[in-house]
Homo-oligomer: A and B are copies of this chain.
Amino acid sequence: MTQPAPTPPAQSAPTQAAAQGLPRTLTRELPRHEGQTVRLQGFLHARRDLGGVQFLVLRDVSGLAQCVGSGLDLPLAESSVEVEGTVKAHPKAPGGFEVQVTAFRVISAATTAPPVEIPKMDWHVNPETMLDYRVVTVRGLKERAALKVQAELVAAFRDHLNTEGFTEISTPKIVSAGAEGGANLFPIEYFGQQAFLAQSPQLYKQIMVGVFERVFEVAAVYRAEEHATSRHLNEYLSLDVELGFIQDEEDVMALENRLLGAIMVRLRERCAAEFTLLGAQIPDVPAHIPRITLMDARRLVSEKYGHAVGGKDLDPEAERLLSQHYAETEGSDFVFVTKYPRAARPFYTHADHNEDGSLNPDLTRGFDLLFRGIEITSGGQRIHDHAMLMDSITSYKLNPASLEGYTEVFKYGMPPHGGFAIGAERLTAKLLGISNVRYARAFPRDRHRLTP
């Protein structure tokens, strides 16, 4: 334990300096280097001075390392630092190893102490402060664990769909009208024209079924809803899927079932530490997620739990109770709620059929997927027949002229198709037991929050 070696500040170091020194070791690699000298780089996560002996915790992308030295001139927490030292087994250190510092260098000094202590943060405390200072609080271990899990979830989503022959698409977020009608759209001034931020890629992913048959998109969507709940965001990452040449919505649900299975396999392989840190369990996805029609679901929560459901859909309490029922009786964290009534679905939802094959005007092939008490997907089969679509528009008392942009592609032989969308932040939050969906997004936008 010596004085830190005098080194020039990073920005004036010649390019070759690092190449001549030790290669960088990540903190998670320490067990492989016991007894060796390593060079670590990262952020000064925590520091403590015990009468001349200094403990510092270095945080890098892979974890934490406890380092011990003496006579070090430690900068403020969150500074970027470099440590050279010897790796020793140490049962009480995080990961079981400690680095005995032989050289210490400040790469880039923090000029201000963080407004909250990053190692002690908890997102249940002072959420607005945590979000106001998100540029630095997002470095917290739990914060980044949530974003890491989301990145892996999204990667698994893409990878699985690629194995099933899907093609990734990128569709416009600047649109001339909303897919679901005019409500809840953010207006944009577009070269003197009125435009809007897209609520969903609904029409565009349907058009692209005519090109690639099976498509997906991962992109932000925008809802100008003035809600202030723990489950809504005004900008969120939508995992959108659409597939053609289907028989009915069962094909869509079966795909989502396989997809969720693949996502959980990947999270198990790559995110075990993050789930442990957050005290959360990766769910088992049944080979066949239970299905229940909406009408049967309403009846079940009423008869079993005495909860009378208002409206045409399920209310949040009914979603919770229905999930509880399937967790208790079938051990499933997931349940599909099927055959939504027409009044609870948008105009482009395909009608269900009666047993004789005739159309049922009151029921649709729309479904929701509940996960641990909350809806994480809406999906269904869409109308592909132009005449049926025009009839639906009329029966919803919508203006066909204002929907011409939507209906155009259905003149050109669209095959039967359907799809769904998963809100990435909501699924991440629910997987990890994060109480507010805003912590599952790096820089959330809500009614009052435009920064950072």
Contacts and interface: CB of A to CB of B under 8 A. Distances in A.
Interface residues of A, number: 112
Interface stretch (A93-101, A102-110, A283-291): A102-110
B204 A443 contact: yes
A219 interface: yes
Contacts of A445: 172, 174
A44 B414 CA distance: 11
Contact of A415 (B18, B76, B108, B213): B108
A233 to B, nearest CB: 10
A346 to B, nearest CB: 18
Given A168-B155, A442-B208, A353 B80 contact: no
Interface string A333-365: 000000000000000001001000111000000
Interface in A195-234: 195, 197, 204, 207-208, 210-214, 218-220, 222, 224, 226, 234
**Taking chain A's interface residues, is the majority helix, strand, or loop, or is none over half, making it mixed?**
mixed
Given A17-B247, A247-B13, A250-B15, A235 B415 contact: no
Nearest to A134: B207
B451 A112 contact: no
Given A144-B211, A191-B226, A191-B448, 10 more contacts: A10-B247, A43-B210, A107-B413, A136-B412, A139-B412, A148-B212, A170-B220, A186-B190, A187-B189, A207-B452
30 contacts: A8-B357, A10-B415, A11-B350, A11-B353, A11-B416, A18-B247, A41-B245, A61-B213, A76-B413, A110-B412, A135-B408, A136-B210, A138-B211, A139-B211, A147-B169, A151-B167, A155-B162, A169-B442, A171-B442, A172-B220, A172-B235, A172-B443, A174-B197, A174-B235, A174-B445, A188-B188, A204-B443, A208-B442, A218-B218, A219-B219
